[in-house]
Amino acid sequence: MILQASTIVFIGSHLSIPGKQKNHETGQEEDKPPLETMDRKDVMKFPFYGSAALFGLYCLFKFQKELANLLLGLYFTGLGVLALAGLIASLLQPFFRGKFWSKVHQFNIPMVDQVSVTVLEVLCICLCGGVGYIYYTTHHWCTNNLFGISFSIRGIEMLSLGSFVNGAILLSGLFVYDVFWVFGTDVMVTVAKSFQAPIKLVFPRDWSAPVGQQFSMLGLGDIVIPGLFIALLLRWDIARAVKQGKTITEGCKVFFYTNFIAYILGLVMTVVFMIWFKAAQPALLYLVPACLGAALLTAMVTGQLSDLLAYKEESPEKKEEEDSKKKE
């Protein structure tokens, strides 16, 4: 569990680094798609929206568990197929350089939007559709984890917290959210056990048991939320390196590695206390102090606390507005 979660955070963080990517249809270097950036209002509302969604699912499972799992299972299986296909396509793209594989085809889907896909992406979707069928009919933990890993990596890769302060606010809010819903009520545990969808990673406790296996669970939020914060710190390391005239590889990634290690230690503490108390533990209870504490301590030791607190990543919309103002 610890190895899988930490690997997801490491890969997702590095995929979130802005830069160039090759368009295999034209052969030219292009900017990577910009990250979706959260603003202050988004991060402050997130714990409340999360609480409303969680309690809504709890009520739904109390009265219509079978129907809820049927509909939500179909929905998340479809999303999982697309997420896994997108991840595999991005990994295979360097090996399929021909125009046939990278030619973009556009389709108009009613009530959705115009969709652009390549032949390689269509092939990956078809292959991952088989994985989706296996998951939906068997709910095997391996296929569940494949989709969960894809969701997590793509989430960390494509979303930005916007600033260090935003990240601190979000982590603090979700710290309270996690503790309340796990220790204060049975809502979180009930939903996690009832919800048959790839919103968590599951791990067999006894690999030798042929049937009736018991599983440990780790919610994707316990991977993605700290992962977004760690990815932000990696980009902060890179921004400092670029400012000093260094390349990405030459720059010292001290904030990233200290927080990555802190995240692993937080996961270890979660597992230890789960075994010790023989009860579910809110992982963010240990992960939030570990990550926030490591970041602030590193900043104080290196004398960069004020710079870290002031660090911001502009959203694509704001950048476009500033560029247009400069042109005027």
Strand-pairing partners, residue 107, are: 115
> Could you report the per-residue pLDDT of 128-186, keeping only the tens digit for each?
999 999 999 888 889 999 999 999 999 999 899 989 999 999 999 999 999 998 888 88
Longest dimension (CA), the chain: 70
Mean pLDDT of the chain: 83
Q: Is 206 a catalytic residue?
A: no
Residue 209 in this model has a pLDDT that exceeds 70: no
Contact in structure between 200 and 219 (CB atoms under 8 Å) = yes
From the candidates 31, 113, 178, 186, give the one annotated as an active-site residue. 178
Q: Is residue 193 over pLDDT 70? A: yes
Report the Cα 277 to chain-centroid distance in Å: 28
Here the tokens at position 317 are 């919309």
The catalytic residue among 222, 237, 307, 323 is 222
How many CA atoms lie less than 13 Å away from 223 in the CB half-sphere? 32
Beta-bridge mates of residue 159: 36
Gap between the Cα atoms of 45 and 96, Å rounded: 42
3-class SS of residue 229: helix
pLDDT band at 24 (very low <50, low <70, confident <90, very high): very low
Q: What pLDDT score was predicted for residue 109? A: 67
323 in catalytic set: no
CB 214 within 8 A of CB 233: no
What is the C-alpha radius of gyration for the chain, rounded to an integer number of angstroms? 21
Backbone φ and ψ of 8, nearest 5°: -60, -45
**What is the average per-residue pLDDT within 188-212?**
77
11-20, 118-127, 281-290: which is most confident: 281-290
pLDDT-derived band of residue 25, with 50, 70 and 90 as boundaries?
A: very low
Return the top range by mean pLDDT from 151-160, 195-204, 279-288, 314-323.
151-160
| Residue 255 in this model has a pLDDT that exceeds 80 | yes
Structure tokens at 289: 């102090």
